[in-house]
């Protein structure tokens, strides 16, 4: 079935020339003026401007006051875990409220809204976890489009400036259903003129659309289904490739790393890597970790593995690390080292070339002032990003830290408790010195913090 233009099932509110306040927005105070010579970058996809949890942003606030960085604005939101994405004067996020999946475009400095559209969704639950949006929108500045993939497989291309639908399709309807634990969860990838997805459907494990029209350019057949890890682009032997960490809700479980040629969708090689436990997911995205090398990690027993591709594009294991278990927080490769948090809140550091464990740090005894007392810190399921010469870490309970990480160890530079709430699982977004955090429990909010330095 062809993609639909201006999909009838979608409710649209078109943009005004100036963004407007709305009922769920609370504005606190304008951020500081950017420093003279400040370096800024967009955050167009959930892993950042280069899809590897790095941004060149500087200078940033490195010493937090006792109450934490200042809040610029906050928006009450519904269910879901996607990281917001930012490009220029636009921020896009997706969430669900009372059976409506909502995509909203806000002004990054004020939180005021340009447009929104909504899509009815049917939500289920598994293992006591309710379905909710998990795919971050993707902004493509070259085309002026934003791509959103909903929990019920509704894929839409929307004009970023106006909120006007350009094309839409439903992956389950048009490609075939894929088995999931919690609905769709793998964000699309823009690569040149293509929009690439880990679709996980019969005959279309990976699929590429023309990003402007929604027409299918190629399909990659493979028995593996869709995971919660998002595809990333890189090179093997100097040639462009898409790396897909596939999976699916199947028993016995299957999945692993695919290297796909974006020119035609053909697979170079497939490396099985999935827990033997059925109730497991592949969720951390692949990490480019040196020439012809990709690191993958899962939480349910297999741990981490470094995959290396030879001159014939065939894959082999360079090394394996069972203890390097990241559930859905993507590890960070930086200056020859791999860093990542496990579920217990232990930060791991490995030599990417050899697989040698350099150190682990559990941050035992670390406390932070919060509501008039010292709160013991647990960095379980923390996400990492690198900016301004250091690492920002955000734990699932709302602890924010600046860390100095090297081969010799970890040093806490600054720490603040933004709030105390479980399941804050999203990697924060950082653009123009503003940090965007998705709080997922207690008060469900999208919060903008001022991290601009001087």
What pLDDT score was predicted for residue 407? 98
Residues 416, 427 contacting (CB under 8 angstroms): no
pLDDT of residue 17: 66
20 inside domain? yes
What does the pLDDT read at residue 441? Answer: 85
Phi, psi (rounded to 5 degrees) for 145: -115, 155
What is the pLDDT at residue 128?
66
- Rounded distance, CA 406 to CA 352, Å? 13
Residue 3 lies in a domain: no
Residue of 172, 223, 218 whose CA lies nearest to 195: 218
pLDDT in the model for residue 3: 64
Burial 288-305 (b: 16+ CB within 10 A, else e): bbeebbbbbbbbbebbbb
Distance CA 200, CA 220 (A): 9
Q: Among residues 296, 289, 293, which one has the least CA distance to residue 337?
A: 289
Structure tokens at 209: 């659309």
Alpha carbon of residue 147 to chain centroid: 14
Rounded Cα distance, 69 and 175, in Å: 46
**Pair of tokens at residue 102:** 């909502």
Domain that holds residue 78: 11-450
Q: Which residues of the chain have pLDDT under 70?
A: 1-17, 128-129
User: How does 357-366 read in b/e, with b if 16+ C-beta sit within 10 Å?
Assistant: ebeebebeeb
- Candidates 405, 404, 454; CA nearest to 433 is 454
The number of distinct structural domains making up the chain is 1
Q: If residue 173 lies in a helix (H) or strand (E), which one and from where to where?
A: helix 171-175
Is residue 1 in a domain?
Answer: no
Assigned domain for 5 exists: no
Task: Note whether 284 and 331 are within 8 A (CB).
Answer: yes
Q: What is the structure's pLDDT at 125?
A: 74
**Residue from 434, 454, 390, 447 nearest 88 by CA:** 434
Q: Give the CATH number for residue 433.
A: 2.130.10.10
Instruction: Determine the pLDDT at residue 126.
Output: 72
């Amino acid at each position: 079935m062809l993609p639909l233009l201006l999909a009838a099932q979608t409710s649209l509110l078109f943009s005004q020339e100036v963004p407007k306040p709305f009922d769920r927005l609370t504005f606190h105070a304008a951020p500081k003026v950017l420093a003279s010579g400040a370096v800024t970058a967009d955050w167009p996809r959930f892993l950042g401007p280069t899809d590897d949890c790095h941004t060149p942003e500087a200078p940033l606030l490195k010493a937090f006051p006792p109450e934490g960085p200042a809040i610029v604005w906050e928006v009450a939101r519904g269910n879901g875990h996607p990281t917001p994405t930012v490009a220029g004067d636009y921020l896009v996020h997706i969430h669900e409220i009372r059976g409506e999946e909502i995509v909203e475009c806000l002004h990054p400095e004020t939180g005021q809204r340009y447009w929104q559209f909504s899509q009815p969704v049917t939500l289920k639950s598994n293992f006591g976890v309710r379905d909710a949006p998990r795919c971050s929108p993707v902004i493509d500045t070259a085309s002026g489009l934003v791509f959103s993939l909903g929990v019920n497989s509704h894929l839409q291309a929307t004009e970023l400036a106006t909120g006007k639908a350009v094309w839409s399709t439903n992956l389950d309807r048009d490609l075939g259903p894929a088995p999931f634990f919690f609905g769709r969860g793998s964000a699309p990838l823009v690569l040149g003129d293509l929009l690439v997805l880990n679709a996980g459907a019969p005959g279309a494990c990976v699929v590429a659309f023309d990003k402007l029209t929604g027409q299918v350019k190629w399909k990659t057949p493979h028995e593996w289904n869709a995971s919660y890890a998002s595809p990333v682009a890189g090179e093997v032997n100097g040639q462009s490739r898409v790396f897909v960490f596939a999976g699916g809700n199947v028993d016995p479980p299957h999945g692993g790393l695919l290297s796909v040629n974006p020119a035609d969708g053909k697979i170079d090689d497939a490396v099985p890597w999935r827990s033997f436990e059925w109730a497991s997911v592949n969720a951390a995205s692949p990490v480019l970790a040196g020439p012809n090398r990709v690191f993958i990690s899962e939480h349910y027993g297999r741990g981490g593995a470094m995959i290396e591709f030879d001159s014939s594009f065939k894959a082999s294991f360079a090394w394996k690390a069972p203890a390097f278990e990241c559930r859905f927080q993507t590890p960070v490769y930086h200056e020859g080292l791999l860093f990542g948090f496990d579920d217990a809140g232990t930060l791991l550091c490995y030599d990417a070339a050899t697989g040698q464990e350099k150190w682990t740090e559990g941050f035992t005894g670390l406390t932070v002032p919060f509501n008039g007392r010292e709160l013991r810190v647990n960095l379980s399921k923390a996400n990492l990003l690198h900016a301004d010469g250091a690492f920002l870490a955000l734990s699932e309970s709302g602890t924010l830290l600046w860390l100095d990480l090297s081969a010799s160890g970890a040093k806490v530079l600054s720490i603040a408790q933004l709030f105390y709430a479980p399941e804050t699982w999203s990697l924060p977004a950082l653009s123009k010195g503003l940090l965007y955090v998705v709080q997922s429990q207690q008060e469900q909010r999208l919060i903008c913090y001022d991290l601009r330095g001087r």
